[in-house]
Chains A and B, each alone.
Chain A
Amino acid sequence: MTLTTGTTAILAADHITKSFSTPEGGTLSVLDDISFELRDGEIVALLGKSGSGKSTLLRCLAGLIAPTSGRALYRDRPVTAANPGVSMVFQTFALLPWLTVRQNVELGLEARNVPPAERRDRAERAIDLIGLDGFESAYPKELSGGMRQRVGFARALVVEPDALFMDEPFSALDVLTAENLRTELLALWGRPDFPTRAMLIVTHNIEEAVLLADRILVLSSNPGRIRAELTNDLARPRDRREPRFEALVDEIYGIMTGREEPSKPAAAPAAAAPARPSPIELPLPAATVGGMAGLLEIVLARGGREDLPALAHDLVFEVDDLLPLVDGAALLGFATVDHADLEISDDGREFVVADILTSKELFARKAAEHAPLVRAITNALAASMDGQLPEAFFLDILRRGFTDDEARHQLDIAIDWGRYGELYEYDANTGQLRREV
């Protein structure tokens, strides 16, 4: 990647890799060789599903955690501690509940040893700017979510940071409040006297990214890599109904729902791949059976084919809620994804309309065939002497490629699927998996 461009880079990720060691001695890669720049005068969005490491990347650049290899650079200097040029706005607001709005906003100034009179003055200006006047002496508890996030913004902006980092800043807010805050943030950004030079936002909301950012970096999951970089030169203020806006949203949906690893054989429903992926190569998406059934039912009711952005928009879902269900349905062969369209397959149709027993049988057959972990459990139980095995056996295997928590999570999904399909049962007290007879 070239580090010399027309405009100066405020922050840069230089071949950042982040991995954690698993308890079984393996390593689990979260970020893999990420390089990009945050340049003067631009807003960049990091977009990805959960598990794509986008928040981890943000924290590496903010100097809150260390990358395993590679460097974070702030104005060409390596970041070795909390980055002095960065202020962060948190998804959970991260306000101190025992301090008033004013005290929260003044906190960063106090830490920088700004004299009291000036501190008060600057805090007052930030509070006015962000639309909080009148709430100075309120405690965060007394405020609505939107007002709390305004305090978060005021606290971050009052120290006039070089770069403003936002970690899913609007996702804890309701739709209207989020829209309102986004618009105000853009209005501030457009002002000539706005001291902050660049903004970096982490989000899983595609429309939000298209609305705000000049550049969008789409991250893939397991491990996180930059999968696509899109430039967004739509004129501001941006209109959601504009065709070019919609086209960009559709394009990103297509990128995000496409199969992740082109090197591995696609888990196409019909083609039985010669080398079947292992439970570690192809993790189960975090989808419940009920969730997948619900999604398929809606798609069927809408004619069997549906545009995902439109569906998400209608259901007031975000990509994080919807994509695991889409991935699950596609993995089991109940649906196919083509760009941003989800089309229900014959099996999927059968799964939805058949009576409960038939659809359970169908689900069991599909899960045992296409879901690697479910297949592994079924095979292992069939091969065992008395048809039962302790969960620790499977957890040990999973821990070669996952952290403790993730291994547990994978097994929980497989247990949920297997229980529904009556492939095996699970006793939470003894931790035994038993073949269903």
Chain B
Amino acid sequence: MQRSFPTRDVLRRPRLRWVDLLVGGALFVVLYAVLRLGLTVTHPFVPSQSRASISTSPSALPYYALRSLSRMFIALGLSVAFTFVYGTAAARSRRAEKVMIPLLDILQSVPILGFLTITVTFFLALFPHSILGLECASIFAIFTSQAWNMTFSFYHSLMTQPRDLDEAARLLRLTKWERFWRLDVPGSMIGLVWNGMMSFGGGWFFLTASEAITVNKRSYALPGIGSYVAAASARSQLGYVLLAIVVMIVMVLAVNFVFWRPMVAWSERFRIEQSEATEQPKSIVLDALRRSRVPGLVAKPFRPVGALLDRATRPFGVADRPLVQNVARRRAGDAAFGLIVAIVVALGSTSALRYIGTEVGLGEFAHAAWLGAITLARVTIVVILSTLIWVPVGVKIGMSPRLARYAQPIVQILASFPANFLFPFFAAFLVATGLSLNWGGIVLMMLGAQWYILFNAIAGAISVPSDLREAMDNFDVRGRQRWRRLNLPGIFPAYVTGGITAAGGAWNASIVAELVTYGHHVLIAKGLGAYIALSTASGQFAKTLTGIVVMSIYVVGINRLVWRRLYRIAETRYSL
């Protein structure tokens, strides 16, 4: 499979416009509103949710693993539902699209773990006396790591639907419902499954990070494999951490084998190009299912339901659009819509800034920006080191079809494996050697981020046509010249995709990598990640808000200034 992650269409975006600033401001306001809402409710007290309640007995592990797994799938279900609703709305309504797509773009780039603290406060306030609040917060964290890529992929498929299929659907007078299930969803299935699978892998990291969390001087823990590791780490039980790692690996492999491989193989039937793909993905599980009668038996009772839904949705009308539109009225509507959004954002931002101003002073932004620069330096080192190490390896693997066939699934698993499971070992090492987390943090951030570069380097190398390689062999182009003329240009588009994702991953990881506890030791690195984590733990929410806003500005800004430019060059100059 020669696909990058995320698929390249997920990152295809117009340049920065004023609306992006507006949407960024809107996000700021929403965060602030949610935070204030969470703070209005008296602090919840649920003793069973404390970290002490988590057992590190190995016998508890299977149950914890299943709890974690169920969270992952609930989040996936929510992501799919969100994708369908949001993607359809953005693709079908011109006005909604103007706001929804920039919003999604920013949501995709900002560090999700930063939001976690805010959403935890919010959900705890929503369900003050039950475990539901924490469950919701955890599921929401996983959801935010999965949904954006899938939504972009779906939206992009809808926007690039072949014109003749769209016309055929309209002339056949399909209802909105029929069109959605017969054309829109099947047509975007391949991208959806692929991005879903890869995002699901990334979700393990957020699951682990969100199960055990400290907010406002209180530690909370949900029964799950992530809090098991946290508890084992807090009690310095490295053996149990190792055990959890083994269980995690088994779980990732099992989910891949019984769910994602079959899904990927099944989605091949939705390929729009009439020709067959060169290498068909295969799945033993899918073959077994296809041969058995079980799917037919399961589907049977649902058929009348489908027919019923088809009839029930008929009143929504035919999936056609009016040919003539009143331009003047449309423009007036656009202007009114834009004005209202702008006013709400302006009022909200002022109020949020005033809150920060009175709580900690606006000078805090400068402080956070300085810390952000330090974390930026770490992220940059992570990307450069990963590139130097993994690009040559990835090219080697990708240029050999035999190697690639085995290596790419393995790298995919490595990328899914939550790096925070390994943190206790490094923390123990740092404590033992007395090395500073200021440097050690780089290693921790790299643990997760590096795989995206390797994975996409392989994908890029596979996509280089074999006749180009043969021609280079024939003309005896090797060594430095070969790298400059073939290898680097060939993998460049996929590398850019990997670089954006790796950098995003590193920013996210900084929130858990710059503040690490092991046993009674607390290791802190100087940086924006530690700033956010510390202010959250001590309940200084104005600082948390400041930190998140500054980090978001860093990530979005660098994406725009550096990565998008590289991306555009890759699209125009180096696409094969």
CB–CB B186/A111 < 8 A: no
- Contact A84 B324, CB 8 Å, known A59-B167, A90-B164, A98-B269: no
* In the bound complex, CA of A141 to CA of B275 (Å): 7
* In the bound complex, CA of A367 to CA of B321 (Å): 47
Binding-face segment, B145-153, B173-181, B287-295, B515-523 = B173-181
Q: How far is the CB of B161 from chain A (nearest CB, A)?
A: 11
Query: Scoring B residues 260 to 300 as 1 if CB is less than 8 Å from chain A, else 0, what string do you get?
Result: 00000000011110111000000000000000000000000
CB–CB B323/A80 < 8 A: yes
CB–CB A96/B186 < 8 A: yes
A108 sits at the interface (CB 8 A):
yes
Q: Which residue of A lies closest to B310 (CB)?
A: A110
Total B residues in contact with A, Cβ cutoff 8 Å: 32
Q: How far is the CB of A88 from chain B (nearest CB, A)?
A: 5
B172 sits at the interface (CB 8 A):
yes
Of A86, A97, A116, A139, the most chain B CB neighbours within 10 A belong to A97
CB–CB B318/A80 < 8 A: no
CB–CB B276/A82 < 8 A: no
* In the bound complex, CA of A83 to CA of B178 (Å): 18
- Indicate which residue in B170, B270, B318, B323 contacts A66 across the interface (CB closer than 8 Å): B323
Q: Which residues of B contact A79 (CB under 8 A)?
A: 323
CB–CB B270/A81 < 8 A: no
Q: Which residues of B contact A116 (CB under 8 A)?
A: 307
A353 sits at the interface (CB 8 A):
no
* In the bound complex, CA of A108 to CA of B183 (Å): 13
B258 sits at the interface (CB 8 A):
no
Q: Which residues of B contact A81 (CB under 8 A)?
A: 318, 320-323
Q: Which residue of A lies closest to B168 (CB)?
A: A94
CB–CB B173/A111 < 8 A: yes
* In the bound complex, CA of A6 to CA of B173 (Å): 32
CB–CB B168/A82 < 8 A: no
CB–CB B182/A107 < 8 A: yes
CB–CB A87/B165 < 8 A: no
CB–CB B324/A80 < 8 A: yes
- A residues 349-402 near B (Cβ < 8 Å) are none
B560 sits at the interface (CB 8 A):
no
Q: Which residues of A contact B183 (CB under 8 A)?
A: 96
* In the bound complex, CA of A97 to CA of B307 (Å): 22
Q: Which residues of A contact B274 (CB under 8 A)?
A: 97, 140-141, 148
Query: Scoring B residues 348 to 382 as 1 if CB is less than 8 Å from chain A, else 0, what string do you get?
Result: 00000000000000000000000000000000000
B432 sits at the interface (CB 8 A):
no
Q: Which residues of A contact B162 (CB under 8 A)?
A: 92, 94
CB–CB A111/B172 < 8 A: yes
Q: How far is the CB of B423 from chain A (nearest CB, A)?
A: 44
- A residues 97-121 near B (Cβ < 8 Å) are 97-99, 107-108, 110-113, 116
- Contact A63 B174, CB 8 Å, known A94-B167, A96-B165, A98-B270: no
* In the bound complex, CA of A91 to CA of B183 (Å): 19
A64 sits at the interface (CB 8 A):
yes
- Indicate which residue in A92, A96, A98, A108 contacts B173 across the interface (CB closer than 8 Å): A108
- A residues 20-41 near B (Cβ < 8 Å) are none
Total A residues in contact with B, Cβ cutoff 8 Å: 36
A407 sits at the interface (CB 8 A):
no
Of B173, B269, B322, B323, the most chain A CB neighbours within 10 A belong to B323
CB–CB B173/A112 < 8 A: yes
* In the bound complex, CA of A66 to CA of B324 (Å): 7
CB–CB B322/A97 < 8 A: no
Q: Which residue of B lies closest to A87 (CB)?
A: B171
- Indicate which residue in A64, A111, A139, A140 contacts B167 across the interface (CB closer than 8 Å): A64
Q: Which residues of A contact B269 (CB under 8 A)?
A: 97-98, 139
CB–CB B175/A111 < 8 A: yes
CB–CB B182/A99 < 8 A: yes
CB–CB B323/A63 < 8 A: yes
* In the bound complex, CA of A396 to CA of B167 (Å): 33
CB–CB B167/A110 < 8 A: no
CB–CB B314/A88 < 8 A: no
Q: How far is the CB of A207 from chain B (nearest CB, A)?
A: 25
Q: Which residue of B lies closest to A59 (CB)?
A: B167
A255 sits at the interface (CB 8 A):
no
Q: Which residue of B lies closest to A141 (CB)?
A: B274
Q: Which residues of B contact A293 (CB under 8 A)?
A: none
CB–CB A86/B171 < 8 A: yes
- Contact A82 B170, CB 8 Å, known A63-B323, A141-B274, A141-B276: yes
Q: Which residues of A contact B318 (CB under 8 A)?
A: 81-82, 111
* In the bound complex, CA of A79 to CA of B182 (Å): 26
* In the bound complex, CA of A96 to CA of B170 (Å): 13
Q: How far is the CB of A113 from chain B (nearest CB, A)?
A: 7
Q: Which residues of B contact A66 (CB under 8 A)?
A: 323-324
Q: Which residues of A contact B186 (CB under 8 A)?
A: 96, 98
- Contact A82 B164, CB 8 Å, known A99-B182, A111-B174, A141-B276: no
CB–CB B173/A84 < 8 A: yes
Query: Scoring B residues 480 to 516 as 1 if CB is less than 8 Å from chain A, else 0, what string do you get?
Result: 0000000000000000000000000000000000000
Q: Which residue of B lies closest to A91 (CB)?
A: B164
- Contact A88 B171, CB 8 Å, known A98-B269, A110-B178: yes
Additional pairs, 13, CB under 8 Å, beyond known A81-B323, A90-B164, A96-B165: A64-B170, A80-B323, A81-B320, A81-B321, A87-B171, A88-B168, A90-B168, A94-B165, A99-B182, A111-B318, A113-B314, A116-B307, A155-B172
Residues of B within 8 A of A (CB): 162, 164-165, 167-168, 170-175, 178, 182-183, 186, 269-272, 274-276, 307, 310-311, 314, 318, 320-324
A/B interface sample: 9 pairs, CB < 8 A: A59-B167, A63-B323, A80-B324, A82-B320, A90-B168, A97-B271, A98-B270, A108-B172, A141-B274
Residues of A within 8 A of B (CB): 59, 62-66, 79-84, 86-88, 90-92, 94, 96-99, 107-108, 110-113, 116, 139-141, 148, 155, 159
Closest 8 CB pairs between A and B? A66-B323, A94-B164, A94-B168, A108-B172, A82-B170, A111-B174, A98-B186, A90-B164
